[in-house]
């Protein structure tokens, strides 16, 4: 039964999008036939990351912004575990943003769930890297001056082999994305458009529902980076959000690449390299050394 994954009754604010993420993830684990001991949740700091304390799996509570290095370490030492990182948009795209780029380009075989409510919820409503420009927040009564980052394009450009976006207005779609991501061989990023009724009350599920486009109805998931970038850009140009699995392709994982490099004979013939470099310089500078 699905309740094998329940540890405690979740306690977020009424109406918080985290409840939907919790339900979808629990159901995804169950429908994939996983057992609690096969999974490890790696969570940062913030409201969304409290999910570890409500789900019955292994868990590591990392420090703020450091979900991905901790998750990478776990996958390297115990490849049989399903490693799942959970962050908010502040945890993932502010203090932890550099780790997203490097974990994506390494293709570490783990699932990264980012609950993007457009605000730092846990510290009471400061703007985050995904807060839209001009937003009125409690610390910016005249409007937020910064441009938001684009997590989907960032993950694509960083070399992620699975990039998806879900939203808390469609639990079944979110569950399906989780299942596809957990089954994916390599790094997967799932950005989830979520709501924080307490500190970002102008963003609602009804509003998100009017702004979404299901990409699977228009040919996704795609394999080629250029095609995925074009698809996302064309939807975002219209002020809409792509929802579903956008890009999925198979490449060697970090564990496989490390195994492969161990087999390479890496004795370097420095004498030969110096000889070639010297000849190249002589040609360019037209002198003899």
Ligand X SMILES: Cc1ncc(C[n+]2csc(CCOP(=O)(O)OP(=O)(O)O)c2C)c(N)n1
The answer to whether residue 190 forms part of the interface with ligand SF4 (CB under 6 A) is no
| Binder of residue 12, out of ligand SF4, ligand X, none (CB less than 5 to 8 A by kind) | ligand SF4
Would you give the DSSP letter of residue 222?
B
Number of neighbours of residue 236 by Cβ within 10 angstroms: 15
By the rule CB under 6 A, 122 interacts with ligand X = yes
* Distance between CA atoms of residues 176 and 182, nearest Å: 10
Give the H/E segment covering residue 103: helix 97-106
Compare residues 50 and 162 and give the one whose CB is closer to ligand SF4. Answer: 50
**Binding partner of residue 120 among ligand X, ligand SF4, none, CB under 5 to 8 Å per kind?**
ligand X
When asked if residue 16 is in the footprint of ligand SF4 (CB under 6 A), the reply is yes
Q: Which of 140, 220, 134 is nearest to 173 (CA)?
A: 220
Q: Note whether 18 binds ligand SF4 by CB under 6 A.
A: yes
Instruction: Tell me how many residues contact ligand X (CB under 6 A).
Output: 18
93 lies in the site for ligand SF4, by CB under 6 A? no
Structure tokens at 115: 């609950």
Report if residue 64 touches ligand X, rule: CB under 6 A. Answer: yes
Question: From the list ligand X, ligand SF4, none, which binds 198 (C-beta under 5 to 8 Å, kind-based)?
Answer: ligand SF4
Could you give the CA distance from residue 118 to residue 88 in angstroms, rounded to a whole number? 9
16 binds, among ligand X, ligand SF4, none (CB under 5 to 8 A by kind): ligand SF4
Tokens of 94: 């502010």
Judged by beta carbon distances under 5 to 8 A according to partner kind, the member of ligand SF4, ligand X, none in contact with residue 168 is none
d(CA 191, CA 213): 15
> What separation in angstroms does the CA of 221 have from each of 94, 204, 213, 217, 243?
27, 27, 13, 10, 11
Q: Among 87, 103, 107, 117, which residue interacts with ligand SF4 (rule: CB under 6 A)?
A: 117
Three-state SS across 231-245? HHHHHHHCCCEEEEE
Interacting span for ligand SF4 (CB under 6 A) from 8-16, 167-175, 203-211, 247-255: 8-16
SS3 230: helix
Closest CA to 253 of 102, 155, 107, 110: 107
Which range touches ligand SF4 (CB under 6 A), out of 11-19, 142-150, 176-184, 253-261?
11-19
Q: Which residues make up the interface to ligand X (CB under 6 A)?
A: 45-48, 64, 87-91, 115, 117, 119-123, 128
Q: Which residues make up the interface to ligand SF4 (CB under 6 A)?
A: 12-13, 16, 18, 47, 117, 121-122, 196-199
């Amino acid at each position: 039964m699905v309740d094998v994954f329940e540890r405690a009754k979740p306690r977020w604010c009424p109406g918080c999008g985290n409840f939907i993420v919790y339900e979808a993830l629990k159901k995804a684990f169950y429908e994939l036939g996983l057992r609690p001991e096969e999974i490890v949740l790696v969570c940062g700091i913030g409201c969304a990351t409290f999910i570890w304390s409500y789900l019955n799996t292994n868990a590591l509570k990392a420090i703020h912004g450091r979900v991905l290095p901790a998750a990478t370490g776990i996958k390297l030492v115990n490849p049989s575990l399903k490693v799942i990182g959970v962050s908010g948009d502040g945890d993932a795209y502010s203090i932890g943003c550099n780790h997203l780029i490097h974990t994506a380009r390494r293709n570490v075989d783990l699932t990264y769930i980012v609950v993007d409510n457009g605000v730092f919820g846990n510290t009471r409503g400061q703007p985050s890297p995904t807060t839209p420009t001009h937003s009125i927040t409690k610390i910016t009564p005249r409007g937020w001056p910064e441009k938001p980052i684009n997590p989907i394009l960032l993950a694509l450009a960083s070399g992620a082999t699975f990039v998806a976006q879900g939203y808390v207005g469609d639990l079944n779609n979110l569950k399906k994305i989780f299942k596809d991501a957990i089954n994916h061989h390599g790094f997967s990023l799932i950005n989830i458009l979520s709501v924080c009724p307490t500190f970002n009350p102008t963003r609602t599920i009804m509003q998100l529902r009017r702004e979404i486009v299901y990409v699977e109805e228009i040919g996704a998931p795609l394999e080629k980076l250029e095609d995925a970038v074009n698809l996302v850009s064309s939807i975002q140009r219209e002020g809409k959000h792509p929802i579903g699995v956008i890009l999925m392709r198979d490449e060697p994982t970090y564990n496989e690449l490390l195994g492969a490099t161990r087999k390479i004979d890496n004795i370097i013939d420095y004498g030969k390299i110096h000889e070639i470099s010297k000849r190249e310089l002589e040609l360019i500078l037209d002198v003899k050394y």
